[in-house]
Structure 1
Amino acid sequence: MIRHIVLIRFRTDVTEPQIAALFAELEEIRTKISGVLAITSGRSESPEKIERGYLHGFVVDFDSWAALEAYQTHPDHKALGAKLVAHAQGGLDGILVFDLPVNE
């Protein structure tokens, strides 16, 4: 399994309803790409409070690298990615992506 982790530092003028709408678009992509096992998104609730401004994020679990690649090249992902970049503080600099192979 591949765990795709995305952390986002949204601009201060982006509202929680706008963020929820972006995450809803992510859920819609799930139905269009095979190999997506799970999607979890939301705001950090870390008691450590060391998010460094990356207060929102999501995790997508894929069954293979091929499924992750299909997701990355899918037009709906590209459109959502552009919206995330547009809403992130500093554009692409406000987004962190980490792909982790997970042994089950």
Structure 2
Amino acid sequence: MIRHIVLVRFQPTVSAAAIDDLFTELHRIEGKVPGLLSISSGRSESPERIERGYLHGFVADFADWSALEAYQVHPDHRRFGARLVAHAEGGLDGILVFDLPVQTQGSLT
């Protein structure tokens, strides 16, 4: 399984409603990309408070690398990604992406 982790530092002028709308759009892709297992999104609630401005994010789990690749080229993802970049502080500089292969029980992914 591949865990796709995206952290976002939104521009200070982006409202909570606009962020909710973005994440609602993101969740609409569920069921449209084979191998996309789940998406979780929201605001950090970390008691450590070391987010360094990356207060929002999402995690999408994929069955394998080819499922992640299919997601990356999907038109809904491209549209969402463009909106996300437009709302992030500094554009793409306000977004961090980390893809982590995760071993699941009975799998050597």
Same fold at TM > 0.5: yes
TM-score (norm 2): 0.94
- 2:47 and 2:35 map into 1 onto residues whose CA distance is 33
The answer for the alignment partner of 1:70 in structure 2 is: 70
- 1:70 and 1:91 map into 2 onto residues whose CA distance is 23
Residue 37 of structure 2 is aligned to residue 37 of structure 1 = yes
Structure with max Cα Rg:
2
User: Unaligned 5+ residue runs, structure 1?
Assistant: none
Matches within 5 A, 1:1-104: 1-104=1-104
Secondary structure, counterpart of 2:28 in structure 1: helix
Bigger proportion of residues as helix: 1
For residue 75 of structure 2, what is the amino acid of its counterpart? P
User: Unaligned 5+ residue runs, structure 2?
Assistant: 105-109
- 1:39 and 1:70 map into 2 onto residues whose CA distance is 15
Give the CA deviation at 1:34: 1.1
Moved runs in structure 1, 4+ residues, more than 4 A? none
- 2:27 and 2:79 map into 1 onto residues whose CA distance is 14
- 2:21 and 2:64 map into 1 onto residues whose CA distance is 27
| Aligned-CA RMSD value | 0.5
Secondary structure, counterpart of 1:77 in structure 2: helix
Q: Percent identity?
A: 68
- 1:14 and 1:84 map into 2 onto residues whose CA distance is 11
For residue 41 of structure 1, what is the amino acid of its counterpart? S
Give the CA deviation at 1:38: 1.0
TM-score (norm 1): 0.98
